[in-house]
Structures are given as structure tokens and as C-alpha cells.
Amino acid sequence: MTQQITSTGLDEVVKKSPRKWVYLFNEGNATMRNLLGGKGAGVAEMTNAGLPVPPGFTITTEACNAYYDSNKQFPTGMWEQALAALKVVEQRTGKGFGDKNNPLLVSVRSGARFSMPGMMDTVLNLGINDETVQGLVALTGDERFAYDAYRRFIQMFSKIVLDTDPRDFEHVLDVYKERAHVATDAEIPAAELKQLVVEFKQIAERQSGEPFPTDVHEQLRKAIEAVFSSWNNKRARDYRNFNKIAHSLGTAVNVQTMVFGNMGSDSGTGVAFTRDPSTGEKELYGEYLLNAQGEDVVAGIRTPSKISRLKDDLPHVYEQFKEIAKRLEQHYRDMQDLEFTVEKGKLYMLQTRSAKRNAQAAVKVAVDMVAEGLISKEEAVKRVEPSQVYQLLLPRFDENEKKKASQEGRLLAKGLNASPGAAAGKAIFDADTAEELGKAGTSVVLVRPETSPDDVHGMLVARGILTARGGATSHAAVVARGLGLPCVAGTEGIRVSESEKLFRVVDSDFVLREGDDISIDGATGEVFAGIIKTVEPDFNKEVDLKTLLGWADKFRKLGVWANADYPRDAQRAVTYGAEGIGLCRTEHMFMEQERLPIVQKMILSTSQQERQAALDQLLPFQRSDFKGVFEAMVNPETGEGYPVVIRLIDPPLHEFLPSYEELLVEVTRLETEGGHDEELQEKRKLLEAVGSMREANPMLGLRGCRLGLLYPEINIMQTRAILEAVAELEQAGKKLHPKIMIPLVGHVNELKEVRRQLEAVAEDIDKQQGRTIEHKFGTMIELPRAALTADQIATVADFFSFGTNDLTQTTFGFSRDDAEAKFLLRYVEGLEEPGLKDKVKILPVNPFQTLDRDGVGQLIRMAAENGRKANPDIELGICGEHGGDPDSIELCQEIGLDYVSCSPFRVPVARIAAAQAALTHGEKDK
């Protein structure tokens, strides 16, 4: 009833405005995330669910965007709506904003659509001035508390809104603590705090050049502007670039009644997850501080207590909190990240949002929630990021190596296991250097006393993070978990000196300096000197992951195959769930030590007989290579083999020979030294041969099917080796499905001729064996001309495999070997343009990693459609690097390929991504 009466003031103002820019918490809900931001939608939903949320309102993301569109002016009506909403809040709390007898204080916080922890700004205790502070004293009877709130406000407002240097405030605060002979802020007596407030205001005035604002409405206005502006600060932009969040979304601003966790020992503040964000265990996980304000928990100045201790400190609050946590998790059907404050024994919920979690937790929580009946299997599959699946299969430290390191006294300290994974590299003590070295390819472990949002650019490129201070919900821990980086936080056994760029180990004289090797284990919190070897995790022990992947397999439509050149890769691929080999690059087998000399003999031979003799020597090697790969792909129980695509020789032949430049140097050396006649003769011959084979553009030169057309004997030997291997294994009772792939076809006649030659080989072998050996011939579509004439090529191909590495290279005209280093990454990162604030991005992503939908994708789509029209039975797959990239997999699903083929490690990633693509696509089609 009261709500309806009091909301009308806001309704009236909204009617006079072009748009509704402000929503009271009770006017929103969880579905309004785009408009109200995650935080605004969360508090709105909690308010409507009847949970204890301090009243407030949200200024929309649209208002933020309108602010930017109109040259940083509040849009028409927004401020008036905010004032009207404030009136409602005043009525609901019975307090007055700026009222010197009964002051309402508010917090002003950012809240974007996607959570960006710590990236933007917050101002607390807003509404205090010399008059209202008196009201606060009178109301609370606690002068120390009131002046402490006041000095905190000045400090925060100055930093965030007035953009002053926070160090001056911290320095003065330290002087006061010293003078009062106390260790913490909370112990500074009231009389000193009063003086401190005066001094803080002077610092603010000196630094900003204007008097500290005493008008509470001016304070509010400026704080809202500062939050809007923080959407575009450097760290927020860096974070969004990294997480691929659009810069155009804008942030909402939440203005909320302050509640105080620092009003004595029956007050406190904390953050908690409904489940453990590192392991996924179903238990409350988090921490709190009694008699403290929110920023104290995150700042890591005082060490917080584990949430389970709240049971002893404030039992009824703990029970209520546990109940609310459970309700929220059930309501959202997802693990939540909660912020709360207790003011004089009364619990207030300040925030709920979907909790960030690492890979292990993501998988466990998804699988557990299905068992608990909270979510469906489809939802579980959709909830796990494919990249998290990849992380789970990342290497960990070798336990024996770790034990050895401990025995050698290299275990330096143990901190909090804030985010699992193993990281080893050079210790670097500042974010800028970490960024520089990390980008240059050095493995870096960023070591900080504690991290702040200003360190994010360094964290993004580091292998791992080590901090000396801060808890499981400190900035370092939260950001590292979000990034999937190993993190050891709150390592009290080390003292970090930023200025000296080193840390000292407490209780020993060990000093680790910048550039020294370091290893951190985010799963155990251990910190070691030196580099520790890593091992691969045991996929078979990842029970939850296997369950999830099993569900994914039921939903996906794309087959998931692997690129594997050796039996051991093929075995790993099968373990990870591959259903075939989509690419076996035979040339890698040619490179092996015992074969290379024969291969070189074959290449350098001057007559066909000589070449044939070398090929005859190679044949048994190849036959046994292929047998190994086929065998690895046979189900031992049924004897049935998965399909295996073996590609005939592809690279230019000179890749198997020593480099021309090296040979030239060698010959010149031998000539100048004299006396090596025989060797010199040989090297000269080789130099001449290599010289004659040199090409200006070898990637566009004599390679792929062109080689086979000029030297058919090579293809013939390989085909014979493949089919003889099949025949041998089939004699042993196995059933195989070999597919022979001819690379770099650009014209149908190329494929026609190669196929004609090789069909003759197959016939010959059938005759020898006295039966038909199953085989298929297909080609790679990796040249634009092949894609454009796919209808013609499909008439002579049983399958197409899109070689998107070469197809990207030839479509863009970007060299696979040089483009990334020379210019392509700059295209993606953006080019600095004088006079422009933002870098100019030429490409949204690296097209060698994620398929370029508009160009390369278009060619694939066209080739697939035309190929199928000409040959309805044609099988379509992809075997370029993109086959393991989730975004590219989605495109393959849209185009309707039959399978993707990727490196064995990426197979589980592809299984999840393919299922997600099928589910998303299914929903779109409905």
C-alpha cells in the first residue's frame, strides 16, 4: 500500500520525461538485466522475493549510453527521476537525504550487464557533510563511528570522483595511527578522527582545486557521473576487450540505502558463494569481518574469518543467511555469489549474482545440479564454457618433481589455494613489465603484495598470480578464477617489496628477485623456487567431466574427430572421445630420423628408377605407420574401426632438405678451408639441387596434388601402403574405413587425374588380395577456387574436408607463417591513431583462430551446398585448426557439416561446443 502511494511521485516525473531512466528496486526483476545491469536486476529480484534488501533505485544502462551520446550530459529527465526515486527511498527508510537530524546515507555503485568484478567504481557513505554527521552521531550515539564514516567517504569520493591521488590520504591516515599508537583504522579515537576529516577535506581541496562538496545532492550527482565515466576507464576497457564484452552496453548505477557493518561486534560484512567456486563442493564458501565495511573485506587489510565461523559469532544471522543462500540458489537455479552486511544483528542482502567459478567447479556444479533436480541435462551442458573443459585438461605439476623440490628446500611458502592450476615462469613484480614480457612470449608469474584493478592488464597475460595479502574473495582470487589462471593468494610467509622488485621469505634469508624462476600451485597454495615440470591430468579420473561429455554427445549433431599423425595421438584422441581421424598428415612420418635420408634420396634422385628404389624402401615404414594409426582407432571389443582420413603428401619437397642458406654457408666454409674435396663435392651437388627447387612462394608452389601429378610414384607408394595396411589388419578380423585425401586441389581435373592413377593402385591391390578393400577418395577444400567450383569437384570426390588453415591464408592473402607476427595481431588488437581515444580495430578476431564468417565462412557454406547438390552422398568435414574453436564449431553446425576434426586435446572442447551449437541452433529453429 505504502509503496503504491510513494511510487507515484516517480511515475509523475517519468510521465514528463522522454523515457523511464530510473527504476525503484521493487519495479525491476531478474529478466531486466540488460536495462538494470546484473546487480540492479539481482537486488530487484531479491526485493520482490521479500528478502531484506536496503531500499534503493537503479539508473539504467540506457541512461549511461544516452549520457555518452549527449557529450556527457545526463539525459533529459534522468536527474529529476533520480530525485523522485530518492524521495521514495526516504519515505521507505523514514530518513532524509541531507537531513541533519536523521540523515539517509547511500552507496552509489556501478552494475553492468555482465559482471566485471572490481573494474568500475563505487562510492559508499554518500550524504555526509559537517551537518549530517552530527545527526549520525545523535542517531547512533557513536561519535567514532560517525566520523570514521565521514573520513571514509571523503577518501573514497576524492579518489573516485575527484580523481585525486589516494596515497596522500593513506599517508596521513598512517600518521594518525602512529600518533595514536594504534594498529588499525578502527582504533583511531573520535577526537583524532574529527581532526582527520578536516585534514582530508584540505587534501581533497588542494588536489582537486575546489572545495570538497558539502551539498549532498551535488555529491550524488557527481558520484553518478563518476560511475558512468568509470565504464570507460582503461581497466574496464581492457577487461571488456579480453572478455569480448561490447563497449556499447553501458553500466547501470545503483543508489542504495547504506547499512553499516561497522557498528560494533554485532555488525559485520561479508561475501559468500553458495558453493565452493574452486571445487564445486556444496557448502557455503566465503568470509566476513565483524565490525567492518565492505571494502575492508576485499582490501585484504584485515584477515577475514571463514563464513562457517559466523555460526559461532552470530548464530541466528548465520542460520538466516544459510536459508537465504539456499533460497536464492533454488530461485536462480544456479550457484550465487552473495554480498551481505549485518547492522546491529540485522542481516541485509546487498547483492546476488551468478557466481564466477573455475573449470572444476563449473563441471561439478552443473552435474550436481542435474542430480539435485535443479536443472536439465541440456542446461548443464550449456552452462560449462568449452574453454573451461580445456582448462580441466591442462597440465598439473608432477607430484614427484614437487616432492623433490620440497626436499631440496625449494618450497618457499604456502598461501591460499585461490584458483587451481600449475604455473611456472619468471617472477615479475609489476603489471606493466608482466604485460610487456607476457606479450613477447615469456612465461610470467605476476607477484604482487595484493592486486587491484590497476593490475588487470598484467594479469591477463600472466601464467599465474601470487599475492602476499588477501583472501579467497580478494581481487586477485576473483579475477584469476574468472580468467582460469592459477592463483595463490594471501601468502603470509613472503614479504613483497615492490620498490626492490623482490620478495623475502619470512623465517629464512631466501630472496626471490625479478626474473627468477618460480612455480606456484593454485590447487594447493604452494610456492616453489625454480621451475617444476608439469604432467597431464588423467582424463579417466575426471568422472564429472565424463558424465557431462556423455550428455553432450547425445545432444550434438556434429561428429567429433581428431587430427592425429601418430598412433599415440590417435590413442589419446579416442580416450578423449574422438570418433574418427579427420586428418593424418603423412609428411610428419617422413621427417623421422631413420626415414629422412631415404626421403632425401627420393627427392634428389635424377631418374625414375632411382626414385622408385627409394620409395620401395619407404613403403614398409609407411605401411607400419598406417597400421599403427588404424589399429589405435579400432574398438578392441567389436573389431570395428573408426573412419581414418589419411592425407597424401602435401608440403613442398624442399621442406625435407637442408635449407639453401645453411648449405651455402657450409659450401663457402669448405671452400675457404680447403682439403675437404669429397664433402665439398657432395654439398655442392646438394646445394645445386636445393637451389633448383627453390621457389619464391613455396606455399603457393609445387605442393599438394601438384606434387602427385608431377611425381605420381609418391602418391602411388602411399596409397599402396595404406591399402596394404588395411588388408593386413582385415585379415586379422578387423573392419576398417580408410579414406584417402588429396590436398590442395584447385581444379577438378587435378583430382580426376590423381584419382584415376590411384584407383588403378586400389584395383591392383584388390586383385592381389582377391577381394575388394573398402576405400574412399576425397579432397581438401583449401583454395578459394576449389570452394567456388565445389560442384564440379564433388563429382569426383567421396568427401570434402575443409582445410581452413590454407583456405584462410589464400582467401585473405595472409601468409600463415608471417602474418600474425608482422601485422595480423595488431589488426586484432587495434592500431593507435593520433587523435582517437580508442585503437582502430581492423579485424574482430584472428581469422586463423576463429573462422571468418563473412569471407571464408561464406566460401565453406557455398562449397558445402553446391557439393551436396552435385553429390548428395558427399561427406563434409573440417580439419583446419578451426575445428577445435567453439565459435567456428558453431558455424560448422550452422552450415551443416558432418564432423569437425581437431587436435586430440581439443576433442572434449569440441564435444561440448558441438552440443551447445546444436542446442542453440535447435532453439533458434523452433
Which residues have a catalytic role annotated?
475, 879
Nearer to ligand PEP, 260 or 802 (CB): 802
- Closest distance to ligand PEP from the beta carbon of 752 (Å): 21
CB of 804 vs ligand PEP, minimal distance in Å: 5
Q: Which does 7 bind (CB under 5 to 8 A by kind): Mg ion, ligand PEP, none?
A: none
Contacts of 152 (CB under 8 A, 6+ apart): 124, 125, 293
Q: Which three cell numbers stand for residue 465?
A: 598470480
Q: Is residue 343 a contact residue for ligand PEP (CB under 6 A)? A: no
> Could you tell me the CA-to-CA distances from 285 to 227, 309, 369 in Å, in that order?
30, 11, 17
CB of 851 to ligand PEP, least distance (A): 11
Locate 212 and state its grid cell.
570538497
Interface residue with ligand PEP among 110, 804, 810, 916 (CB under 6 A) is 804
Residue 853 contacts ligand PEP per CB under 6 A? no
> Three-state secondary structure along 861-908?
HHHHHHHHHHCCCCEEEECCHHHHCHHHHHHHHHHCCCEEEECHHHHH
Strand partners, 351: 339
The per-type count for the chain, helices as H runs and strands as E runs, is 38, 31
- How near is the Cβ of 122 to Mg ion at its closest, in Å? 52
Can you tell me the distance from the alpha carbon of 866 to that of 296, in angstroms, rounded to the nearest whole number?
A: 64
* x/- track of binding to ligand PEP for residues 576-615 (CB under 6 A): -------x-x------------------------------
* Residue closer to Mg ion, measured from CB, 724 or 806: 806
Interface size with Mg ion, residues (CB under 5 A): 3
The residue among 375 and 583 lying less far from ligand PEP, judged by its C-beta, is 583
CB under 8 Å to 818, separation ≥6 — which residues? none
Q: Could you say which of Mg ion, ligand PEP, none residue 880 binds, taking C-beta under 5 to 8 angstroms by partner kind?
A: ligand PEP
Angle at 499 between CA 497 and CA 502, to 5 degrees: 45
Quick one: which H or E segment has residue 502? strand 502-505
Which one of ligand PEP, Mg ion, none interacts with residue 804, CB within 5 to 8 A by kind? ligand PEP
**Residue 405 or 589 with smaller CB distance to ligand PEP:** 589
Q: Torsion-angle region of residue 887: left (phi > 0), alpha (psi -120 to 50) or beta?
A: alpha
- Min CB(828)–Mg ion separation in Å: 22
CB of 512 to ligand PEP, least distance (A): 42
Instruction: Count residues binding ligand PEP (CB under 6 A).
Output: 10
By CB under 5 A, tell whether 806 contacts Mg ion.
Answer: yes
Q: Which one, 115 or 808, has the nearer CB to Mg ion?
A: 808
Closest by CA to 882, choosing from 829, 816, 789, is 816
- What is the closest distance, in whole angstroms, from the C-beta atom of residue 495 to Mg ion in the complex? 54
> Would you say 556 and 577 are in contact if contact means Cβ atoms under 8 Å apart?
no
Q: In this complex, which beta carbon is closest to ligand PEP, that of residue 538 or of residue 817?
A: 817
Nearer to ligand PEP, 686 or 740 (CB): 740
Among 805, 815, 846, 920, binds ligand PEP (CB under 6 A): 805
Torsion of CA 324, 330, 334, 339, to 10 degrees: -10
Binding mask 640-679 for ligand PEP (x = CB under 6 A): ----------x-----------------------------
Beta-carbon contacts of 249 under 8 Å, excluding residues fewer than 6 positions away, are 34, 61, 112, 113, 114
Q: Which stretch binds ligand PEP (CB under 6 A): 357-365, 545-553, 596-604, 804-812?
A: 804-812
876 binds ligand PEP (CB under 6 A): no
For the chain, how many residues are written? 926
Q: Which does 585 bind (CB under 5 to 8 A by kind): Mg ion, ligand PEP, none?
A: ligand PEP
The answer to whether 528 and 405 have CB atoms below 8 angstroms apart is yes
In the shown chain, the binding pattern of residues 773 to 802 toward ligand PEP, with x for contact by CB under 6 A and - for none, equals ---------x--------------------
For 291-419, list the strands marked E by DSSP.
305-306, 336-343, 346-354, 396-397, 411-414, 416-419
CB of 779 to Mg ion, least distance (A): 11
Per rule CB under 5 A, is residue 803 in the interface with Mg ion? yes
Instruction: For ligand PEP, give the closer residue by CB, 555 or 800.
Output: 800
Give yes or no for a contact between 515 and 528, defined as CB atoms under 8 angstroms apart: no
559/803 with CB nearer ligand PEP: 803
587 lies in the site for Mg ion, by CB under 5 A: no
Contact code string over 777-796 relative to Mg ion, x by CB under 5 A:
-----x--------------
Smallest gap from Cβ 799 to ligand PEP, in A, equals 14
Q: Which residue has the cell 567456388?
A: 788
User: Longest Cα pair distance anywhere in the chain, in angstroms?
Assistant: 107
Beta carbon nearer to Mg ion, 455 or 806:
806
Contact call for residue 859 and ligand PEP (CB under 6 A): no
Residue 618's binding partner out of Mg ion, ligand PEP, none, with CB under 5 to 8 Å set by partner kind: none
Considering beta carbons, is residue 419 or 804 the nearer one to ligand PEP?
804
Residue 48 lies near ligand PEP (rule: CB under 6 A)? no
Q: What minimum distance in Å lies between the beta carbon of 743 and Mg ion?
A: 6
Partner interacting with residue 867 (select from Mg ion, ligand PEP, none; CB below 5-8 Å by kind): none
DSSP string covering 679-727: HHHHHHHHHHHHHHH--S-GGGSS-THHHHHH-HHHHHHHHHHHHHHHH
What's the one-letter identity of residue 550? G
Figure out which of the listed residues 880, 886, 904, 908 binds ligand PEP, where binding follows CB under 6 A. 880
Minimum distance from residue 660 beta carbon to ligand PEP (Å)? 22
Instruction: Return the SS3 of 421.
Output: coil
Query: Going by C-beta distance under 8 Å and a sequence separation of 6 or more, which residues neighbour residue 87?
Result: 6, 9, 10
CA 695 vs CA 350, 692, 782, 797, 813: distances in Å: 67, 9, 20, 30, 17
Nearest residue to 800 via CA among 870, 873, 874, 745: 874
Q: Of these, 41, 120, 879, 900, which contacts ligand PEP (CB under 6 A)?
A: 879
8 A C-beta contact, residue 368 and residue 360 = no
Please give the residue ranges that form the binding site for Mg ion (CB under 5 A).
782, 803, 806
Please give the residue ranges that form the binding site for ligand PEP (CB under 6 A).
583, 585, 650, 782, 803-806, 879-880
